[in-house]
Amino acid sequence: GVLLPHAINAIQILLGVDEEKACTSFELFDALLDCEVAIIVPHLTSLLTLCLEVTKNGSLDDGTRVKFMTFLSWLVSTKKKALQKLQLVTTILDVILPLMACPDRDEDEDTSQYPGSFAGSVLDTLALHLPSDKLVPILYKNYIIPLMSSTQPLERKAGLTALAVVAEGTCEYMLEHMLQECLKLAG
């Protein structure tokens, strides 16, 4: 456990020098998540910060960014209570939602390794694993409404996509508590 902050720091340094080695080094955390999740918990904030920094760094390779986003999804699905307790959900949304407003890739390209497309998967993981009453009101008020009220078409599209993605994982809550708001938004 005491070596993990050093490993996180080494990966941050490697990202600026050799992205491929940084990705290979990051596999340590994949292995720990599979077998020793308890070791990661004290370093959850640092790991999440690293993942989010890589996710929003447009100068890094898309594959690198998606690799760190995949780990972020695993953190959400395995450590959801800790993320809520540390109040990190909004921090994740602050990075993921703007990515959803990025221009789409050409149809010929593989979009599964594109951060803008993969951001929807991270949001879906949040919707499936966090309590609806904790996620949906924050997401709707702070992200979906502003995005859908934007004059920028890509931001409106991101807001609508976010609403659709979250509705799948939180449909009961949305039907009971948000139906009128969603209808007003659509109208």
pLDDT value of position 112:
65
What are the percentages of helix, strand and coil residues in the chain, rounded to 5? Answer: 80, 0, 20
Angle between helices 179-186 and 153-169 (to 10 degrees): 150
CA 121/CA 42 separation, integer angstroms: 26
Query: pTM for this one?
Result: 0.90
CA 27/CA 23 separation, integer angstroms: 7
pLDDT tens for the chain, 187 residues: list them. 688 899 999 999 999 999 999 999 999 988 888 777 778 888 889 999 999 999 999 999 999 999 999 999 999 998 899 889 989 999 999 999 999 998 876 655 665 678 999 999 999 999 999 999 999 999 999 999 999 999 999 999 999 999 999 988 888 888 898 888 877 776 6
CA 174/CA 187 separation, integer angstroms: 17
pLDDT value of position 3:
87
CA 187/CA 47 separation, integer angstroms: 41
pLDDT value of position 186:
67
Residue 101, classed as helix, strand or coil, is: coil
pLDDT value of position 92:
96
Got the DSSP string for 13-47?
A: HHHHH-HHHHHHHHHHHHHHHHH-HHHHGGGHHHH
